[in-house]
Homo-oligomer: A and B are copies of this chain.
Amino acid sequence: MKLVVLKFGGTSVANVPQIKKIALKIKQEISQGNKVIVVVSAMAGVTNNLVDLVKSTSDTPAFSEYDVVLSTGEQVTSALLTIALDNLNIKARSWLGWQVPIISDKSYGKAIIEEIKTNHILEFLKTNQVAVISGFQGISKENRITTLGRGGSDTSAVAIAAAFSAERCDIYTDVDGVYTTDPRIVKSAKKLDQITYEEMLELASQGAKVLQTRSVALAMKYNVKLRVLSSFEDLPGTYIIKEERKMEKSEISGIAHSLNEAKITLSGVPDEPGQAAEIFGALAKYSINVDMIVQSSSINHEATDITFTIPESDLMTAESTIKKIQKKIGFRKFITETNVVKISVIGNSMRTQSGVAKTMFETLANNQINIHVISTSEIKISVLISSDYYELAMRSLHSAFGLDV
């Protein structure tokens, strides 16, 4: 008998009628002869309300207590879904993180799963019942509730699928799969039947908000067969797997965009060793995630410009941090720009293909779109452009790489 893990996110469990609907989906899965573990998020909006409640109590809450509050969201959903299953004569019970137990480290608010004990759930599954596990939560060795950080339920589901060697892990969400690009922007966007972990990882971190990056990385590590599909429609979704089995494929699989970027340029930085370390070390201290970094080559070995991007929300912190070390670094000007968007083309086959960069830059040039910054990895090329042109850039790139067909 196969074991499958089904994960239902916030909008899939938005309210009681929706919870009753997914109970029917679970019934379908059981009727196919599968053993089922379900992982649930908090009902849509609940987590935000709980965060607000904590914030109105204190600006600096202890994260160990923050987790006690936040974990109640998933606790409620798992019990309500169990009750809904029971109504369909499907035997089930809720399992909280500490009951499984899902053991994590003690970095409250952003805990890392260390181990999932399988013995209780395995015993339980023998009784032909459905285990409905609260996602997002674990228990530390101090016997206290932890949470995995926002979006952590995807990670819970993948970790559980890995621990129980599940046949597959289905992530039910409000989209029906992974697309070549955002269908709201590019009408000709196509749903992908399958995609590799690496590609999905780039898509996820590049702004395709389908799956949490961390959960994809975990699935890749443990080779968990992932599927993203809709909780609202009865469609096959997109498989995220080790290798694409299609012989023929487009050299790139998708185009991602990320809106909330800010660009910082430090101009006239004295060209001396250790300057970059000084700057990015200071930003790291405030956990500011620096993404693209370019340094203009210094012609006269006197001064250079350093440009980098950070999340727009971190701009104020970054500005005050950098200005504190202005004297020490000795740069001339500090220039920021927030009217920018990062566009990435992603493709597993890019490694063996040349010409992707050429096609990308030519396409943008043909549309009179100026490129601010470029960065590349093995399977992606990203450019930072003015936000005025991002829809045009996405549409023309989607077409140029043959994804419209």
Question: Which residues does A use to contact B, with CB under 8 Å?
Answer: 16, 19-20, 50, 53-54, 56-58, 61-62, 64-66, 68-69, 71-72, 75-76, 78-80, 82-84, 86-87, 93-94, 96, 98-99, 143-145
Contacts and interface: CB of A to CB of B under 8 A. Distances in A.
A65 B53 contact: no
Contacts of A144: 99
Contact of A65 (B64, B83, B145): B83
A57 B76 contact: no
A16 B143 contact: no
Nearest to A87: B58
Contacts of A86: 58, 61-62, 65
A53 B76 contact: yes
- Copies of this chain, tallied across the complex: 2
B84 A57 contact: yes
Contacts of A143: 99
A83 B56 contact: no
Contacts of A19: 57
A245 B98 CA distance: 49
A68 B53 contact: no
Given A16-B56, A20-B57, A56-B16, A93 B65 contact: yes
A74 to B, nearest CB: 10
Contacts of A84: 57-58
Given A65-B79, A65-B83, 20 more contacts: A16-B53, A20-B57, A50-B76, A54-B80, A57-B83, A57-B84, A57-B87, A58-B84, A58-B86, A58-B87, A62-B82, A65-B86, A68-B78, A68-B79, A68-B94, A68-B96, A69-B76, A69-B80, A71-B75, A99-B143
Contacts of A16: 53, 56-57
Nearest to A84: B57
A58 B145 CA distance: 29
A79 B75 CA distance: 15
A83 B62 contact: yes
A98 B97 CA distance: 13
A112 B80 CA distance: 24
Given A64-B93, A93-B64, A99-B143, A57 B80 contact: yes
Nearest to A80: B57
A64 B95 CA distance: 11
A9 B86 CA distance: 33
A99 B99 CA distance: 12
Contacts of A82: 62, 65
Given A16-B53, A57-B20, A93-B64, A79 B69 contact: yes
A20 to B, nearest CB: 7
Contacts of A62: 82-83, 86
A106 to B, nearest CB: 13
Contacts of A69: 75-76, 79-80
A61 B64 CA distance: 31
B76 A61 contact: no
Given A56-B16, A57-B20, A57-B80, A94 B72 contact: no
Nearest to A143: B99
Nearest to A134: B68
Nearest to A23: B57
Contacts of A78: 68
Nearest to A99: B143
A329 to B, nearest CB: 38
B66 A79 contact: yes
A195 B56 CA distance: 40
Contacts of A93: 64-65
Contact of A83 (B61, B76, B145): B61
Contact of A98 (B53, B54, B72, B98): B98
Q: Which of A79, A96, A98 has the most CB of B within 10 A?
A: A79
A75 B80 contact: no
